[in-house]
Amino acid sequence: MARITLRQLLDHAAEYGYGVPAFNMNNMEQGLAIMEAAEETKSPVILQASRGARAYANDVVLAKLIDALVEIHPDIPVCMHLDHGNNEATCVTAIQYGFTSVMMDGSLKEDGKTPADYAYNSGITKRVVDMAHWGGVSVEGEIGVLGSLESGGGEQEDGHGVEGAISHDQLLTDPEQAVEFVKDTHVDALAVAMGTSHGAYKFSRKPDGAVLAMNVIEEIHRRLPNMHLVMHGSSSVPEDLQEIINKYGGQMKPTWGVPVEEIQRGIKHGVRKINIDTDNRMALTGAIRKVLTENPSEFDPRKYLTPAMAAMRKLCKERFEQFGTAGNAQKIKPLPVAEMAKRYKSGSLDPKFG
């Protein structure tokens, strides 16, 4: 079955110049929609679960669900990734349940709310890297604090996100420090802070360079051309989905997300993993609201979850095609984690500079 590590998948994406959407999931309907879109577009895929998703679905259920999705779609390389791990234990238990990649987010302390200093971040990330690489599992780290350059703070997602206002400097990754972090930790992928944030309310206007600092991505890529960069909080919050939700009883305020063309710009400058959650939530919610508004007597979940999955599948297909992921599934032969462990041990996967 085609389970793949993040490192192998992003190495392939870098070689062929595409990005890979990382779709958050909590349940069967989301998993089925994502995988059907991957199958239709012949795309490798990253499924990711946060601590909140793991608590909601239960680790045992989630692990068996991933097993089933991989079995149903044996020709689609699937990376199962932990989103925003907050300590070593969270990462270890994810690996125990079959995750092939984990994120150790040491930019915040264990509470997931308090900004951490560099020593804490690099120290805990390095410990997770050492442990994960022994087993052939990939690690994503984060340098800089995810949050809005407009408001000067972050938005919590599943209880994870900085609380209160923080300095402008903290909200932008220092390219020089990014190089130091990669040297100190040997992460496989690096999430950077450049103005994106969790949730739907990212920008109060169409973003420009003042609030979405793509130049930070470009400078980090110039200094770290071989490092796989990650954009968090990268839902585009489509206007048509906002309109559907509000037409059928919702009350979403006007908002802007990360334009697809800016993500495509990032892909040209080393962005290989693009995190998407809000867009899929909106697609599901809009479809469910429509069914229940038009058929208020309906109570069969299948009658509203089926069109909800179709709406989410459509959005996922669009992202696979827009990011250049489509058509790459058959080009990859996934390596088992045991083989990846040998490569880590040999030093062949150590970061390369210059």
Chain segment 263-284, per-residue pLDDT in tens: 999 999 999 999 999 999 999 9
- Model confidence, pTM: 0.96
Q: How many CB atoms are closer than 10 A to CB 71? A: 10
- Class of the CATH-defined domain 4-169+177-324: alpha beta
Task: Name the residues annotated as catalytic.
Answer: 83
**Whole-Å CA distances, 316 to 32, 312, 323, 325:** 11, 6, 11, 11
Residue 28, exposed/middle/buried by CB under 10 A (0-12, 13-18, 19+)?
middle
Residue 151, pLDDT > 90, answer no
Q: Which residue positions form the known binding site?
A: 84, 105, 142, 198-199, 232-235, 275-278
Give the 3-state secondary structure of residue 281. helix
Residue 156, pLDDT > 60, answer no
In the predicted model, what is the mean pLDDT of the chain? 95
Calculated CA dihedral for residues 178, 182, 183, 188, nearest 10 degrees: -170
Check residue 149 and give its pLDDT.
86
Closest CA to 93 of 67, 68, 114, 63: 63
Answer for the pair 323, 275: CB distance below 8 angstroms, yes or no: no
Residue 128, pLDDT > 90, answer yes
Check residue 347 and give its pLDDT.
97
Name beta bridge partners: 251: none
Closest CA to 240 of 286, 292, 288, 187: 286
**195: amino acid identity, one letter:** G
Confidence of residue 168 (pLDDT cuts 50, 70, 90): confident
Check residue 271 and give its pLDDT.
98
45 sits in the region (left: phi over 0; alpha: psi -120 to 50; else beta) called beta
Give the 3-state secondary structure of residue 165. strand
Rounded mean pLDDT, 91-116:
96
Q: Which residue positions form the known binding site for dihydroxyacetone phosphate?
A: 199, 233-235, 275-278
CA-CA distance, 334 to 337, in Å (whole number)? 9
